[in-house]
Amino acid sequence: MSVPNETELLARVPSKLYIGGQWVDGSAGHSIDVVDPATGSVIKTIADASSDDGIAALDAAVAAADSWAATAPRARGEILRRAFDLLQERRDDFALLMTLEMGKPLAESQGEVTYGGEFLRWFGEEAVRIAGRYGTNPEGTGRMIVSQHPVGPCYLITPWNFPLAMATRKIAPALAAGCTVVIKPAELTPLTTLYVARLLEDAGLPAGVLNVITTSTSGEVSGPIIEDPRLRKLSFTGSTAVGQKLIQQSAHGVLRTSMELGGNAPFVVFEDADLDRAVDGAMIAKFRNIGQACTAANRFIVHESIAEEFARRVTERVNGFRVGRGTDDGVTIGPLINEAAVEKAEKLVRDAVERGASVLTGGSAIEGTGTFYEPTVISGVKPGSDILREEIFGPVLAIVPFTDEADAIRIANDTEFGLVSYVFTKDLARGQRMIERLQTGMMGLNVGVISNAAAPFGGVKHSGLGREGGLEGIHEYLSTKYTLTPDPFAV
């Protein structure tokens, strides 16, 4: 791993919209300043799309749809594989770019390059395994053919917290399935997606298959795309509130939708848990990405007999963190994405403390340049505290004691979300009971990080619809067709 020169890297990153294989100016009449949250400085100024640009991007995706769907699955897979290989060559560029626009420490950005790249490799492999069925109908009078087809042009909307992985997790399965796409990254972190478009262009992706729009008016630009009858699929990752709005908008065109929404993950530590393992798991489940992950542990539900010891150990570890700009050596906690994120962490901690929680370490915003919040541990969090209900999206570890298994399950399920749960116990049967009783789309049983391109990622309840990754991921971009033919021996 070597760290590229920042100025030279930023000069290599495109600053225009990518439509129909061309890099074009935005026509909104202004531009977007991308800011480094660690310094508050503008690192690059890029194009701002108007709603006409959005429709032009959809036009390009529609124009390329038939030929891409007819491209051999092996050829589609090989382009994705070439993109995977190129990503490995450019991994230091991508890592630094994410640290600059989003703030996470470089080592974590390198981890995201690995994770995000795996979607290109996995779905490159899956492109040739899109299978159907053929069989005799129960009456014996005909043959039933079940086949899979690309759903058609897709609109992909991604958040700022994992700029590479959220893009590849949608682009790769869509392209593997034979769909063309328009992708819109978050205004706060658009550079990585533009650099992904350059990567796919260099990997030989035909013009129009992938189109990128960057905009400062996401609602205004997205509305006409979502309402356009040529669009067939919307895949969104972001907050539940925006997801709900997009589901309503999608009703008009009866769009296929995939929704990867917010979380409020419980992290349950039973009295029989391996405490060293639980503390290691807690560090990664809470502080990875500076706590800004939908999979971040939000509520540490710890048996009352070990709550104090657990709190002591996690506090000791948190006191060893180094806060700073993600590019600096040894930094483990970068800035939050913006001032609003700092204010949210402050508000949630203040509310918890007013209701009786104790601050064991941290608990304040850090004054000065950038948007930093101290890594924080609070214990004895009382029922009814906002921090138990809302996504923290910051480096705050909140501990709630429980009395027995039924109590742990009740607290864990007491949320409208259901993305991921973490459980630490040495008792296998208890672990299995938790798998069956927790309302969750995913579970880490004695582990603190579970994401993998080979696994189906997604939630239940207000955490979303559909799955990304795994064998399931490609089916979000395929529609099933059933055909009946007469018994060939009877005609």
Comparing CA positions, the residue from 163, 168, 165, 213 lying closest to residue 188 is 163
Q: Which among 152-160, 282-290, 362-370, 379-387 is the span making contact with ligand NAP, rule CB under 6 A?
A: 152-160
- State the distance between the two ends of the chain, measured CA to CA, in whole angstroms: 66
Buried b (16+ CB within 10 A) or exposed e, 256-271: bbbbbbbbbbbbbbbe
Between residues 166 and 176, which has the closer beta carbon with respect to ligand NAP?
A: 166
Q: Interaction with ligand NAP in 342-401: which residues (CB under 6 A)?
A: 391
**Residue 266 within binding range of ligand NAP, rule CB under 6 A:** no
Residue 23 buriedness (CB in 10 A; 0-12 / 13-18 / 19+): middle
* Interacting residue with ligand NAP among 294, 314, 392, 396 (CB under 6 A): 294
Between residues 78 and 386, which has the closer beta carbon with respect to ligand NAP?
A: 386
Between residues 204 and 219, which has the closer beta carbon with respect to ligand NAP?
A: 219
Stretch 173-192: interaction string toward ligand NAP, x if CB under 6 A: -----------x-xx-----
**Residue 26 within binding range of ligand NAP, rule CB under 6 A:** no
The CA distance from 229 to 223, in Å, is 12
* Interacting residue with ligand NAP among 237, 361, 371, 440 (CB under 6 A): 237
Of 101, 294, 391, 476, catalytic: 294
**Residue 419 within binding range of ligand NAP, rule CB under 6 A:** yes
* Interacting residue with ligand NAP among 99, 168, 211, 222 (CB under 6 A): 222
The sheet with strand 396-402 has its strands ordered as: 358-361, 376-379, 396-402, 297-303, 265-269, 420-424, 442-445
**Residue 263 within binding range of ligand NAP, rule CB under 6 A:** yes
Q: Is 179 a catalytic residue?
A: no
Q: How far is CA 215 from CA 58, 315, 388, in A?
A: 15, 41, 33
Comparing CA positions, the residue from 19, 14, 128, 151 lying closest to residue 80 is 128
Q: Is 294 a catalytic residue?
A: yes
* Interacting residue with ligand NAP among 245, 317, 355, 461 (CB under 6 A): 245
The CA distance from 331 to 321, in Å, is 8
Between residues 73 and 224, which has the closer beta carbon with respect to ligand NAP?
A: 224
Q: Which among 83-91, 145-153, 156-164, 369-377 is the span making contact with ligand NAP, rule CB under 6 A?
A: 156-164
Query: Which contiguous run of DSSP H or E holds residue 395?
Result: none
We find the least distance from the C-beta atom of residue 163 to ligand NAP, in angstroms, to be: 10
**Residue 298 within binding range of ligand NAP, rule CB under 6 A:** no
Q: Which among 45-53, 159-167, 362-370, 426-434 is the span making contact with ligand NAP, rule CB under 6 A?
A: 159-167
We find the least distance from the C-beta atom of residue 436 to ligand NAP, in angstroms, to be: 22
Q: Where are the beta strands (DSSP E) in 231-331?
A: 233-237, 256-260, 265-269, 297-303
* Interacting residue with ligand NAP among 27, 71, 114, 239 (CB under 6 A): 239
Query: Which contiguous run of DSSP H or E holds residue 54?
Result: helix 51-70
Q: Which amino acid is it at 362?
A: G
Q: How would you classify the pairing of strands 233-237 and 256-260?
A: parallel
Helices and strands (H, E) in the chain, number of each type? 14, 22
Of 260, 374, 391, 468, catalytic: 260
Footprint on this chain of ligand NAP (rule: CB under 6 A):
157-161, 166, 184, 186-187, 218-219, 222, 237-239, 242, 245, 260-263, 294, 391, 419, 459, 464
The catalytic residue positions are 260, 294
